[in-house]
């Protein structure tokens, strides 16, 4: 890579690879702004000859898309709040307190993080039916804790292990109780970790499909993932540009989070063992 | 530790803080897990949820069921192939993104995006790309002269299996990139400088320095991804639904089909439990490794 020509060649190669990888996503956006008839050109046009937002308008006014989106937002926020509150307390306990069974507990968290959903889903389905809360967003919040809680707990635990013990000890010497030290010293230190854990938990809930498929069967409670798929299945002839518009809208929150999250990207997702 | 009353009070406080976690765990994970084992001993008609005890009957049925073995084989084939591609492309992409290229952070974001996007979105896009009449894939391959007739990507074999493996690799290789990239940044430059002085070429620097440094992280990544690919449901279910017939049906799909298509929850539980037994070896191995790392980092 010493010569300038070599440098340029490498850059060209690298960016070709990047663009090929991102091509399906670029294609999704391009398709969503093409008029329906343009999709059936052979050969296909790359740049839209005519840019239109009619599919987005139709999506919002003529399909239950906004209802699904509302459900997904409620589901995402509710899951995130429940999980992050419980996990922050739990992680703090696992990191700063000593009691019998602590190590076992930490190991169990990691174990449950690896459990397949299909094993838990049948008993959970029976449980929801028995409790009479099947077909509600609430049932999905409960179901989502099965994967989101172990994940958040593990992630927060590794964040909190990075906070030096001395900080808490100093607060205790100054006469604070352990809870005061937790609120005044540990929480502000852990805030970046808590924020990125919240964002990742939200993404997990936003993208989940299997539980939503099994537990919810009405448009009233259906989130985006199963909702958009049902638009595909129920349509007589598949309107690809409408579906691509739905896909773009569904990915918007991720793009926003992505923009905020640049610095955390390499740290958070899929944690639970992979250490930098 | 036991004599000090303050320590005791702290232990109680610690237990109180972890209590909500333990409660939720018992309700939504431990209870369902035990319950799944229990259910697998019954035959249960899903719509009425009535059933009768059959002991190990469901398992005996599975051992003699060609469909079960076919699904297990499909699961292994899918896991091994897609995992291999993820690792190869993931390491290559990480090495590439580690270099100085223009707009590097944008390039990284674009590469990582498939991993963060919902499987539903990924599948919709790929089904549109794979469309037999107007799909771009067929068009590009016809243009390049690789095929003479448009291919049926998802509806015939072996195309369907190859398609899910490719889409799986595309969706999940960024995970490998994230892990490897993070590790690459911690390899000291001095190692490469020294090797250069000793006259090592680019290839031998990769084999003798980079790979050994990456070994630990790769072991962890392979185990984690093997576990996750093994239990993958969404991607395969949404792309092919297990078809044609059962040619791409993996174990998670069989669980779903038995429970909600064939309405036998007992047998579905038996499939799920068997699947977990296969996974258990990987999980135990991973837990051991993670535990070892932990003790090292605490030292």
Say if the Cβ atoms of B29 and A18 lie within 8 Å. Answer: no
At A272 the pLDDT is 41
* Closest among B278, B294, B290 to B62, alpha carbons compared: B278
Q: Determine contact: B296 vs chain A, CB below 8 A.
A: no
Cross-chain CB nearest to B234 (options A209, A272, A274): A209
Element (H, E) at B276: helix B265-298
- Are A249 and A63 in contact by the 8 Å Cβ rule? The answer is no
* Closest among B218, B206, B231 to B76, alpha carbons compared: B231
- Work out the minimum CA distance from A39 to partner chain B, whole angstroms: 7
d(CA B190, CA B201): 15
Q: Which residues of B touch A96 (CB under 8 A)?
A: 14
Cross-chain CB nearest to B268 (options A22, A122, A270): A122
Whether residue A48 sits in one domain with residue A176: no
Whether residue A78 sits in one domain with residue A35: no
Q: What's the rounded mean pLDDT across residues A132-140?
A: 91
Structural domain spans, chain B: 5-53, 66-298
Say if the Cβ atoms of B93 and A123 lie within 8 Å. Answer: no
Q: Which residue of A has its CA nearest to B133?
A: A40
Q: At residue A239, does pLDDT exceed 90? A: no
Residue with tokens 């291999």: B84
Say which CATH number the domain at A228 has. Answer: 1.10.3720.10
Helix then strand then coil, % of chain A, to nearest 5: 75, 0, 25
Residue with tokens 């707009």: B103
CATH 1.10.3720.10 fits domain B66-298: yes
- Work out the minimum CA distance from A260 to partner chain B, whole angstroms: 12
Say if the Cβ atoms of A269 and B111 lie within 8 Å. Answer: no
Q: At residue B254, does pLDDT exceed 90? A: yes
d(CA B38, CA A79): 29
Residue with tokens 């498929």: A213
Whether residue A219 sits in one domain with residue A85: yes
Whether residue A135 sits in one domain with residue A33: no
Q: What's the rounded mean pLDDT across residues B279-295?
A: 81
Does residue A276 form part of some domain?
no
At B169 the pLDDT is 95
Percent of chain B with pLDDT over 90: 35
Q: At residue A230, does pLDDT exceed 90? A: no
Whether residue A187 sits in one domain with residue A105: yes
Q: What's the rounded mean pLDDT across residues A201-221?
A: 91
Q: Which residues of A touch B217 (CB under 8 A)?
A: 274-275
* Confidence band for B167, pLDDT divided at 50, 70 and 90: very high
At B74 the pLDDT is 94
When the pLDDT of each residue in chain A is averaged and rounded to a whole number, the result is: 85
Non-local (6+) Cβ contacts of A9 within 8 A are none
Residues in chain B: 299
At A235 the pLDDT is 66
At B245 the pLDDT is 87
Q: What's the rounded mean pLDDT across residues B183-198?
A: 84
Q: Determine contact: B114 vs chain A, CB below 8 A.
A: yes
Does residue A31 form part of some domain?
yes
Q: What's the rounded mean pLDDT across residues B91-118?
A: 88
d(CA A250, CA A273): 29
Whether residue A117 sits in one domain with residue A24: no
Whether residue A32 sits in one domain with residue A109: no
Q: Determine contact: B21 vs chain A, CB below 8 A.
A: yes
* Closest among B248, B231, B93 to B173, alpha carbons compared: B93
Say how many C-beta atoms besides its own lie within 10 A of residue B245's C-beta.
10
* Confidence band for A145, pLDDT divided at 50, 70 and 90: very high
At A237 the pLDDT is 74
At A99 the pLDDT is 82
Percent of chain B with pLDDT over 70: 97
Q: What's the rounded mean pLDDT across residues A115-138?
A: 90
At B77 the pLDDT is 95
Whether residue A124 sits in one domain with residue A206: yes
Which residues 143-162 on chain A approach chain B with CB closer than 8 angstroms?
A: 143, 145-146, 149-150, 153
- Work out the minimum CA distance from A270 to partner chain B, whole angstroms: 7
Higher-confidence position of B44 and B84 = B84
Q: At residue A266, does pLDDT exceed 60? A: no
When the pLDDT of each residue in chain B is averaged and rounded to a whole number, the result is: 87
Q: Determine contact: B205 vs chain A, CB below 8 A.
A: no
Non-local (6+) Cβ contacts of A133 within 8 A are A139, A142
- Are B71 and B254 in contact by the 8 Å Cβ rule? The answer is yes
At A274 the pLDDT is 39
- Work out the minimum CA distance from A170 to partner chain B, whole angstroms: 17
At B284 the pLDDT is 87
Q: Which residues of A touch B238 (CB under 8 A)?
A: 209, 229
At B154 the pLDDT is 85
Residue B242 DSSP code: T
At B255 the pLDDT is 94
At A262 the pLDDT is 63
Does residue A191 form part of some domain?
yes
Cross-chain CB nearest to B181 (options A31, A224, A266): A266
Q: Which residue of A has its CA nearest to B29?
A: A146
- Are B182 and B213 in contact by the 8 Å Cβ rule? The answer is no
Instruction: Give the residue ranges of DSSP H helices in B118-185.
Output: 119-129, 136-143, 159-184
At A270 the pLDDT is 41
Whether residue A149 sits in one domain with residue A17: no
- Are A190 and A156 in contact by the 8 Å Cβ rule? The answer is yes
* Confidence band for B91, pLDDT divided at 50, 70 and 90: very high
At A236 the pLDDT is 67
Whether residue A233 sits in one domain with residue A115: yes
Q: What's the rounded mean pLDDT across residues B267-274?
A: 93
Whether residue A254 sits in one domain with residue A207: yes
- Are B96 and B178 in contact by the 8 Å Cβ rule? The answer is no
How do residues A163-191 score in pLDDT, each as one tens digit?
888 888 888 888 888 888 888 888 888 88
Higher-confidence position of B233 and B156 = B233
Whether residue A19 sits in one domain with residue A108: no
- Work out the minimum CA distance from B32 to partner chain A, whole angstroms: 5
At A276 the pLDDT is 32
Q: At residue B137, does pLDDT exceed 50? A: yes
Does residue A275 form part of some domain?
no
Does residue A189 form part of some domain?
yes
Say if the Cβ atoms of B21 and A149 lie within 8 Å. Answer: yes
Q: At residue B87, does pLDDT exceed 90? A: yes
Q: Which residue of B has its CA nearest to A99?
A: B11
User: How many beta-carbon pairs below 8 A join chains A and B?
Assistant: 276
d(CA B118, CA A249): 12
Residue B89: both structure tokens together: 């492309």
* Closest among A72, A58, A39, A62 to A242, alpha carbons compared: A58
Does residue A273 form part of some domain?
no
Q: At residue A248, does pLDDT exceed 90? A: yes
Say if the Cβ atoms of B32 and A178 lie within 8 Å. Answer: no
- Are B105 and A262 in contact by the 8 Å Cβ rule? The answer is yes
Q: Which residue of A has its CA nearest to B258?
A: A122
Of A194-208, A247-261, B108-122, minimum mean pLDDT range = A247-261
Cross-chain CB nearest to B18 (options A18, A90, A207): A90
Q: At residue A1, does pLDDT exceed 70? A: no
Say if the Cβ atoms of A203 and B102 lie within 8 Å. Answer: no
Q: Distance from CA of residue B297 to its chain's centroid?
A: 26
Q: What's the rounded mean pLDDT across residues B40-50?
A: 83
| End residue of a domain, out of A56, A83, A99 | A56
Residue B158: both structure tokens together: 């072996």
Higher-confidence position of A41 and B297 = A41
Range of the domain at A248: 59-268
At A23 the pLDDT is 92
Total domain count, chain A: 2
- Work out the minimum CA distance from B242 to partner chain A, whole angstroms: 15
* Confidence band for B3, pLDDT divided at 50, 70 and 90: low
At A41 the pLDDT is 76
Q: What's the rounded mean pLDDT across residues B62-82?
A: 94
């Amino acid at each position: 890579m010493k010569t300038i020509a070599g440098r340029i060649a490498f850059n060209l190669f690298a960016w070709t690879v990047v663009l090929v990888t991102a091509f399906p996503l670029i294609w999704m956006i391009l398709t969503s702004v093409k008029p329906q008839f343009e999709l059936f050109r052979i050969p296909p046009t790359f740049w839209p000859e005519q840019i239109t937002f009619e599919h987005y308008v139709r999506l919002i006014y003529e399909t239950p898309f906004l209802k699904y989106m509302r459900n997904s937002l409620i589901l995402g926020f509710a899951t995130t709040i429940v999980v992050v509150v419980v996990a922050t307390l739990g992680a703090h306990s696992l990191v700063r307190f000593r009691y019998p069974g602590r190590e076992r507990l930490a190991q169990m968290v990691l174990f449950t993080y690896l459990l397949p959903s299909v094993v838990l889903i049948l008993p959970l389905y029976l449980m929801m039916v028995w409790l009479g809360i099947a077909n509600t967003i609430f049932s999905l919040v409960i179901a989502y804790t099965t994967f989101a809680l172990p994940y958040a707990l593990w992630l927060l635990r590794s964040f909190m292990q990075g906070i030096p013990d001395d900080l808490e000890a100093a607060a205790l010497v100054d006469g604070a109780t352990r809870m005061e030290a937790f609120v005044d010293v540990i929480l502000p230190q852990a805030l970046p970790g808590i924020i990125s854990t919240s964002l990742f938990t939200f993404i997990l809930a936003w993208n989940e499909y299997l539980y939503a498929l099994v537990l919810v069967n009405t448009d009233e409670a259906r989130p985006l993932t199963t909702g958009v798929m049902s638009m595909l299945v129920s349509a007589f002839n598949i309107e690809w540009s409408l579906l691509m518009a739905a896909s773009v809208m569904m990915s918007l929150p991720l793009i926003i989070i992505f923009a905020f999250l640049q610095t955390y990207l390499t740290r958070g997702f899929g944690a639970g063992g992979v250490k930098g | 530790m036991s004599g000090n009353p303050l320590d005791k009070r702290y232990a109680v406080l610690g237990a109180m803080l972890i209590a909500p976690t333990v409660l939720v765990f018992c309700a939504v994970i431990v209870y369902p897990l035990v319950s799944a084992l229990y259910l697998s001993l019954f035959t249960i008609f899903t719509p009425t949820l009535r059933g009768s005890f059959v002991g190990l009957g469901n398992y005996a049925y599975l051992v003699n069921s060609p469909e079960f073995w076919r699904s297990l084989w499909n699961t292994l084939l899918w896991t091994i192939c897609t995992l291999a591609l993820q690792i190869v492309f993931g390491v290559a992409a990480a090495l590439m993104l580690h270099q100085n290229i223009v707009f590097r952070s944008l390039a990284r974001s674009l590469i990582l995006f498939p991993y963060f996007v919902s499987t539903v979105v990924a599948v919709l896009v790929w089904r549109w790309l794979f469309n037999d009449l107007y799909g771009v894939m067929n068009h590009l391959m016809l243009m390049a002269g690789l095929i003479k007739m448009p291919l049926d990507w998802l509806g015939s074999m072996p195309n369907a299996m190859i398609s899910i493996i490719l889409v799986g690799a595309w969706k999940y290789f960024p995970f490998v990139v994230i892990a490897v990239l993070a590790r690459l940044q911690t390899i000291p430059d001095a190692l490469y400088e020294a090797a250069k002085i000793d006259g090592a070429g680019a290839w031998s620097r990769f084999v003798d320095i980079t790979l050994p440094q990456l070994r630990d992280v790769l072991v962890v990544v392979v185990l984690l991804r093997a576990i996750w690919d093994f239990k993958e449901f969404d991607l395969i279910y949404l792309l092919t639904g297990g078809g044609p017939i059962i040619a791409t049906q993996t174990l998670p799909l069989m669980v779903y089909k038995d429970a909600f298509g064939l309405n036998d929850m007992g047998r579905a539980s038996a499939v799920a439990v068997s699947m977990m037994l296969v996974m258990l070896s990987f999980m135990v191995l991973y837990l051991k490794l993670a535990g070892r790392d932990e003790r090292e980092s605490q030292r």
